[in-house]
Amino acid sequence: MTEYRFRGAVAPLRRAENVAPLRRAENAAPLRRAENAAPLLRAADAAPAPATVDGAVAALRPEMPLHCLRPATVAGAAAAFRAAFPGDVLYAVKCNPEPAVLRALWRGGVRHFDCASAGEVRLVRTMFPEAEIHFMHPVKARGAIREAFGRHGVRDFVLDSAEELAKLREETGGAADLGLVVRLALPKGGAVYDLSGKFGATEEAAAALLRAARPHAGQLGLSFHVGSQCLDPAAYARAIARAAAVIRAAGVVVDILDVGGGFPVSYPEVTPPPLRDFMAAIADAVAEHGLGHMTLWAEPGRALVAGGTSVVVQVQHRRGDALFVNDGVYGALSDAGAPGFRFPVRLVRPGGGGAAPVVPFTFFGPSCDSADRMEGPFLLPADVGEGDWIEVGQLGAYGACLRTAFNGFDQAALVEVADPPLLATPGYAALAAVA
């Protein structure tokens, strides 16, 4: 019989205590059996946490990227969001599936998880047998539906087409206890990442899908997504008004209104409105359109985890105002490339150093690709140079999970620290000490 083996394209993040030494130049991810991949992700999860980023750098002197996880920050953001939102909070696992992050979210009270693949469903169910898992990808492989439903007890599924509804009915054997949620398309908005082009049914089609799904749904819902890093609370109010019109047109009982994700966080020169403004906009729109009887869902990702991880990179070369560092757009700094996100930075220099004035720098990553460039500007002391370390903040969202193995630069390590985030986001600070 043919034996199938799967290549792990990216080496898993390893606890720094288990990387001996961190200065070793090993860049090739080994072939490993698929059934062994999940245990590798969870190796050494009980390792003790260094007290600070500076202390970890001084002790480890890393020559590979060092991911610095702040569990208390993640747990505090989760607790703050749950306290503010009048419904169920579904963490978007795609944003950061690191097991230590998921455990911190659980400590913050998150019990619902928005999964988009069988792999994410499997991870969450393995870690949290009692979790509520919602399969929120509108287009799913048949095998993924069968596994989620039959093996992991998932009952909630999103769809945006009649074909997907038929597929769900077929692969779940016509189950009567499904939660079926129709994804409504929204027009292009002002969010940093527009999500209007791939998923969602038109208003007319969404109303028809609600009617078609109602006889087969234990619970019926309508969802939307205003886009990632949405800075306008009124965007949620406009989307809820559109959803209310669809529900009226459908003429059937709808049980769930899912307002999606998109809740923003702070970046350099970007301070979003406080969390309470978004919650007030949602609550006012729900009341205005008579939807108060419905269960509310939200799918935050970035808002819960962005401040919870930073990455320490090392300068390998300086050329004028450009710094060549050991992580880049093919690693944890993808959003600093073409999307143009700016991230907070600070120099980490064990033993101290001069107080040089701060000037702007551009970063180049470690790969041989000239596109591995991050314009920034990144504001650092003018005397930064080869061998120095730089902490880059706000990378808990889409940092670790977008890493690739391009050019063999796939090694990175993980430590847990007690530092506050490099930037605070309005609405989360009060509960940031939850552990």
282 plus 346 within the same structural domain: no
Is the confidence at residue 42, as pLDDT, over 50?
Answer: no
Q: Is residue 204 part of a domain?
A: yes
Domains: count for the chain:
2
Task: State whether 113 and 94 are in the same domain.
Answer: yes
Q: How confident is the model at residue 20 (pLDDT cuts 50, 70, 90)?
A: very low
Residue 412 vs residues 76, 170, 300, 401, 429: alpha-carbon distances, Å: 26, 43, 26, 12, 29
Cα–Cα distance for residue pair 76/305, rounded to 1 Å = 10
Quote the mean pLDDT of the chain: 88
One-letter identity of residue 76: G
Domain assignment of residue 427, yes or no: no
In the chain, the percentage of residues whose pLDDT exceeds 70 is 87
Average pLDDT over residues 113-123: 97
99/207 same-domain check? yes
Q: Tell whether 3 is covered by a domain.
A: no
Residue at a domain's end among 305, 332, 354: 305
Last residue in a domain, options 305, 333, 364 = 305
**Residues 287 and 321 reside in one and the same domain:** no
pLDDT band at 189 (very low <50, low <70, confident <90, very high): confident
pLDDT at 28: 34
In a domain, residue 435? The reply is no
- Are 99 and 237 part of one and the same domain? yes
Alpha-carbon distance 214 to 251, whole Å? 10
Domain limit, last residue, from 305, 321, 354 = 305
Q: Residues 133-163, buried b or exposed e (16+ Cβ, 10 A)?
A: bbbbbbebeeebbbbbbeebebbbbbbbbee
Residue 315: strand, helix, or coil = strand
Q: Which residue has the higher pLDDT, 17 or 332?
A: 332
Classify residue 357: in a domain, yes or no: yes
Tokens for 332?
A: 């944890």
CATH number for 357 = 2.40.37.10
Residue 421 located in a structural domain: no
The residue segments making up the domain with residue 287 are 71-305
Same domain, 320 and 380: yes
pLDDT digits (tens, 9 = 90+) for 275-293: 999 999 999 999 999 999 9
Kindly report, residue by residue over 205-217, the tens digit of the pLDDT. Answer: 999 999 999 999 9
**Are residues 91 and 220 located together in one domain of the fold?**
yes
Q: Identify whether residues 276 and 340 lie together within a single domain.
A: no
Burial class from Cβ neighbours inside 10 Å (0-12, 13-18, 19+) for residue 373 reads: middle
Residue 24 above 90 pLDDT? no
Phi and psi angles of residue 204, each rounded to the nearest 5 degrees, phi first: -65, -45
Q: Fill in the DSSP letter of residue 399.
A: T
φ and ψ of 37, to 5 deg:
-65, -45
pLDDT on residue 298 = 98
Task: Classify 56 as helix, strand or coil.
Answer: helix
Which residues 6+ apart lie within 8 Å of 435 measured at CB?
71, 72, 75, 107
269: which residues sit within 8 A by CB, 6+ positions away? 342
| Own/partner pairs, 87-90, CB within 8 angstroms, 24+ separation | 87/295, 87/296, 87/297, 87/298, 88/112, 88/132, 88/295, 88/296, 88/297, 88/298, 89/297, 89/298, 89/300, 90/114, 90/134, 90/136, 90/258, 90/297, 90/298, 90/299, 90/300
Per-residue confidence band for 363, with pLDDT thresholds at 50, 70 and 90 = very high
The answer on pLDDT for 376 being more than 50 is: yes
**Residue at 176 is within a domain:** yes
- In a domain, residue 141? The reply is yes
Q: pTM above the 0.85 mark? A: yes
65 plus 198 within the same structural domain: no
Mean pLDDT, range 329-340, rounded to an integer: 91
Give the pLDDT band (50/70/90) at residue 37: very low
Same domain, 85 and 20: no
Say whether both 217 and 289 belong to one domain. yes
Together in a domain, 281 and 319: no
Name the helix (H) or strand (E) containing 234: helix 234-250
Say what the pLDDT of residue 260 is. Answer: 96
- Give pLDDT tens digits for 219-252: 999 999 999 999 999 999 999 999 999 999 999 9
Q: Give, in degrees to the nearest 5, the angle at Cα 294 between 174 and 181.
A: 35
Say which CATH number the domain at 90 has: 3.20.20.10
Residue 22 has pLDDT above 70, yes or no: no
Q: How confident is the model at residue 165 (pLDDT cuts 50, 70, 90)?
A: very high
